[in-house]
């Protein structure tokens, strides 16, 4: 019987799981509602059930938001999950009797997109999930960089317009203020009185000048930060992920144009959409499961 | 007889060299005027003379500005040196009959500062030389990142104030406009009619409000970009290098204060001054010389 590998994507509203075989074929896929209270017990339960359903699982990967020390297997702090200094890798390993590894959800997603997703053809890339917030996974040929204090990739709080609009973080002019899905919706609602939804803004593009305005402010702010990242990192490509990436070319075309404008004297890196979509976290976690089992078979997966 | 290693730092106005022994003790140190015309021949001549004076040299490292492919040993493009697609590593190896390696001057400096200079105690750092321009070497635990197209670290052209003052590069609001040593001098000269010199501005701090103003604009712009880099990379420390770092605490203190202000909800990384000063390029090149010879003895150097 072939080995199998499990990945668990832990969030504040759902815990999603995936089990794949040596070739990356999906054997099991599930999602359960979650709540910050009792989240560790829920993850342990999910891990135990995955192993019960697929006993040949030989490694489990887990990803969470927050400040995560992958090497130690510890969630230092995750406000959305109400976790503080929890050795989650060890908890999962104990509940499942399988080796387990932990990493940050953004880095897991970055790993999946850069190693066998949208950015596979480049040696390096920056994967940018845009949803309630905005972050970045910095993908290098051999690693996704975690930062000296496990806080790399917090690009949502880059001061894109110094002294600009107030952000919920207490600073001003942060990228997230203008370009997170949440704030695109809120800024449109403030100007129009309509319900706050980025999807609604997207739907009204070309019909409502206020929607066009809010969208243009978002894509311009995003392009400015991608220009900063290009000057700094010179990545092979940018991969736009998360909820907002569902807008496809409505988002990517104006971002590409603005990025070219801000990079007058050099080629801009390609800006592409996530290939793994809502599954990206689970695929990243499954790779970790593979690594936990000491296997490199994920290198041959074709997603 | 112990082995020795040579480093050559190639610039548009001087070619500087260093020869060290296994323990990192300096055996030879030199500097010669240079000119872009005939620069390859000059570097070959310098290499040949170094080997003549110290025959036990077993590897030579060379660093240049521009777009440099270290793996191929090729300078793709260096406007200051009028070089385009020159296999400089091979040219030096031929002239000296020694193995030679090439890298970018900024990355070489970064390597030296991060591995045995001011940032030795951190796993990662960003080394920022400030002179005529501003660049950055992104130092990770095992490498200095070169970028997908060998253009990482061009932070001087980050649009720190979108739509701000015009830069010589054709864009607006670039960091360099406000904070390069050259432009600090020029902006002060424009406001006062005095000769354009950053050193003069530094000398007048606390006595001339216009000097204070120009200096504050420079340190604020620099701190904004260091904040961006902190959110993105979360480095262990920033090392300020190059000519302007000679200002010491007059520069570092306001930069640290402004950086803390822009990082309201997290600890700022330490901002320290270069330890290797004007020798940093040559030390980086000497490490390359060591690597060219297949030696790891630079790991034990104490500079």
> Given CB atoms, is B234 within the 8 Å cutoff of chain A?
yes
Interface touch A151/B124, C-beta < 8 Å: no
Predicted pLDDT of residue A142: 84
> Given CB atoms, is A265 within the 8 Å cutoff of chain B?
yes
Interface size between A and B, measured as CB pairs under 8 A: 115
> Given CB atoms, is A151 within the 8 Å cutoff of chain B?
yes
How does pLDDT run across B121-133, given as a tens digit for each residue? 999 999 999 988 8
Give the mean pLDDT of B280-291: 93
**Whether domain A123-274 has CATH 3.30.420.40:** yes
Predicted pLDDT of residue B12: 85
pLDDT band at B1 (very low <50, low <70, confident <90, very high): low
Residues of chain A with CATH 3.30.420.40: 4-109+278-300, 123-274
Predicted pLDDT of residue A1: 59
Sort strands B271-273 and B238-241 into parallel, antiparallel or unpaired.
parallel
**CA gap A235, B176 in Å, rounded:** 22
Task: List the one residue out of A133, A154, A118 whose CA is nearest residue A239.
Answer: A118
How big, in percent rounded to 5, are the helix, strand and coil portions of chain B? 45, 25, 35
Q: Which of A9-13, B69-73, B132-136 has the highest mean pLDDT?
A: B69-73
How does pLDDT run across A199-253, given as a tens digit for each residue? 999 999 999 999 999 999 999 999 999 999 999 999 999 999 988 999 999 999 9
Lowest mean pLDDT among A111-115, B165-169, B202-206, B299-303: B299-303
- Both structure tokens of B28: 């030879």
Interface touch A161/B162, C-beta < 8 Å: yes
Instruction: Give the residue on B whose Cα is nearest the Cα of A171.
Output: B264
Residue to substitute from A163, A178, A228, interface B, most B β-carbons within 10 A: A228
**CA gap A301, A282 in Å, rounded:** 14
Selected from 3.40.50.620, 3.40.50.20, 3.30.420.40, 3.40.190.80, the CATH number assigned to the domain covering B120-274 reads 3.30.420.40
| Predicted TM-score (pTM) of this structure | 0.91
Predicted pLDDT of residue A277: 86
Residues of chain B with CATH 3.30.420.40: 4-109+278-300, 120-274
Interface predicted TM-score (ipTM): 0.91
User: What residues in B contact A147, CB-CB < 8 Å?
Assistant: 124, 233-235
Give the mean pLDDT of B179-189: 95
Predicted pLDDT of residue A201: 96
pLDDT band at A19 (very low <50, low <70, confident <90, very high): very high
**CA gap B148, B170 in Å, rounded:** 23
Sort strands A57-64 and A4-10 into parallel, antiparallel or unpaired.
parallel
The rounded percent of chain A whose pLDDT value lies above 70 is 99
User: What residues in A contact B217, CB-CB < 8 Å?
Assistant: none
The rounded percent of chain B whose pLDDT value lies above 70 is 99
**CA gap B223, A162 in Å, rounded:** 11
User: At which residue do the structure tokens 């021949």 appear?
Assistant: B41
How does pLDDT run across B39-61, given as a tens digit for each residue? 999 999 999 999 999 999 999 99
pLDDT band at B13 (very low <50, low <70, confident <90, very high): confident
**Mean pLDDT value across chain B:** 94
Interface touch B234/A147, C-beta < 8 Å: yes
Instruction: Give the residue on A whose Cα is nearest the Cα of B157.
Output: A231
Predicted pLDDT of residue A64: 94
Q: A80 or B25: whose pLDDT is higher?
A: B25
pLDDT band at B115 (very low <50, low <70, confident <90, very high): confident
Task: Give me the residue from B140, B149, B262 closest to A234, CB to CB.
Answer: B149
Predicted pLDDT of residue B213: 97
Give the mean pLDDT of A154-183: 93
- Both structure tokens of B36: 């872009």
Interface touch A124/B269, C-beta < 8 Å: no
Q: B301 or B210: whose pLDDT is higher?
A: B210
Give the CATH class of B4-109+278-300.
alpha beta
């Amino acid at each position: 019987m072939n080995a199998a590998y499990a990945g668990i994507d832990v969030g504040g509203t759902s815990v999603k799981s995936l089990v794949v075989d040596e070739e990356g074929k999906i054997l099991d896929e599930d999602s359960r509602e979650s709540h910050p209270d009792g989240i560790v017990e829920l993850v342990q339960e999910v891990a135990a059930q995955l192993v019960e359903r697929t006993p040949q699982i030989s490694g489990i990967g887990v990803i969470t938001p927050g400040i995560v020390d992958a090497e130690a297997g510890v969630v230092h702090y995750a406000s959305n999950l109400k976790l503080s200094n929890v050795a989650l890798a060890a908890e999962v390993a104990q509940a499942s009797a399988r080796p387990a590894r932990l990493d940050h959800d953004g880095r897991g997603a970055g790993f999946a997109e850069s190693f066998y997703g949208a950015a596979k053809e480049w040696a390096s890339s920056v994967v940018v999930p845009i949803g309630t917030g905005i972050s970045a996974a910095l993908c290098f040929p051999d690693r996704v960089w975690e930062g000296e204090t496990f806080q790399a990739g917090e690009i949502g709080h880059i001061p894109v317009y110094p002294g600009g609009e107030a952000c919920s973080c207490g600073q001003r002019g942060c990228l997230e203020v203008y370009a997170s899905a949440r704030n695109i919706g809120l800024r449109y609602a403030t100007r129009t009185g309509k319900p706050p939804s980025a999807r609604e803004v997207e739907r009204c593009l070309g019909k409502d000048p206020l929607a066009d305005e809010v969208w243009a402010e978002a894509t311009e702010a995003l392009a400015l930060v991608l220009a900063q990242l290009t000057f700094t990192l010179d990545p092979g490509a940018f991969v736009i992920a998360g909820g907002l990436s569902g807008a496809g070319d409505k988002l990517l075309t104006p971002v590409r144009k603005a990025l070219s404008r801000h990079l007058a004297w050099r080629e801009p890196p390609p800006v592409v959409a996530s290939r793994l979509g809502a599954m990206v976290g689970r695929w990243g976690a499954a790779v970790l499961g593979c690594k936990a089992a000491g296997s490199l078979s994920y290198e041959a997966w074709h997603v």
